[in-house]
Structure 1
Amino acid sequence: MNTEQRHHWNAQHKILSGIISLPDEHAKAVTLSLELHSALYASEGRSAEQTTLEDSLWDRLLESTLRSYPVRTPGSRNSIVWHLWHSARIEDITMNLLGADREQVLHSEHYAERLQTPFIHSGNGMSEQDIAALSAEIDLGALAAYRCAVAGRTRCILSALQPGQFTARATPTQFRRVREEQAVLETEQWLFDYWSGKTFAGHVLMPVTRHNFVHLTKAMRVKQKLQR
Structure 2
Amino acid sequence: MDTNRKIWNEGQQNLRRTLAAGDLTKAIEQFLTQHAMVHSKKVSRADVWSFEDELWQGLTEKAFRTIPPKGGHSIAWILFHIARIEDITMNMLVAGNPQIYIRDKWAKKLKSTIHHSANRMDNESVAQLSSQLELTALREYRAAVGRGTRDIVRKIRPHELNQKVDTARLQTVLDQGAVIPEAMEIVHYWGNRTIAGLLLMPPTRHNFLHLNEAFRVKKKV
Please list every run of 5 or more consecutive structure 1 residues that lacks an aligned counterpart in the other structure.
none
The question of whether the paired residues in 2 share the 8 Å contact of 1:54 and 1:216 is answered with yes
Contact 1:71 1:222 in 2 (8 A): no
- Relative to the length of structure 1, the TM-score reads 0.93
Distance of 1:195 and 1:46 partners within structure 2: 26
Q: What percentage of residue pairs aligned between the two structures are identical?
A: 35
Tell me the CA shift for residue 46 of structure 1: 5.1
Task: Please tell me whether residue 120 in structure 1 is matched to residue 115 in structure 2.
Answer: yes
Distance across 1 between alignment mates of 2:44 and 2:92: 26
Asked whether the 8 Å contact 1:69–1:77 carries over to 2, the reply is: yes
Cα deviation digits, residues 60-117 of structure 1 (max 9, x gap): 1010000002444xxx521000110101111111101111001001011211221111
How many positions carry a matched residue from both structures? Answer: 221
Q: Do the aligned partners of 1:71 and 1:78 also contact (CA within 8 Å) in 2?
A: no
Pairing of 1:56-67 with structure 2 (within 5 A): 56-67=54-65
Runs of 4+ in 1 over 2 A off after TM superposition: 44-48
1:29 to 1, 23, 27: 27
Is 1:145 equivalent to 2:140 in the alignment? yes
Equivalent position of 1:7 in the other structure: 6
Q: Report the equivalent of 1:155.
A: 150
Structure 2 unpaired stretches of 5+ = none
Residue matched to 1:171 = 166
Q: CA RMSD in A?
A: 1.4
Q: Which has the higher helix share?
A: 2
Matched, 1:201 2:196: yes
Letter in 2 for 1:217: N
User: Among residues 67, 70, 78, which one is paired with 1:69 in the alignment?
Assistant: 67
Tell me the TM-score normalised to structure 2 length. Answer: 0.96
CA contact (8 A) 2:44 2:147 kept: no
Moved more, 171-180 or 150-159: 171-180
CA distance in 2, matches of 1:21, 1:105: 29
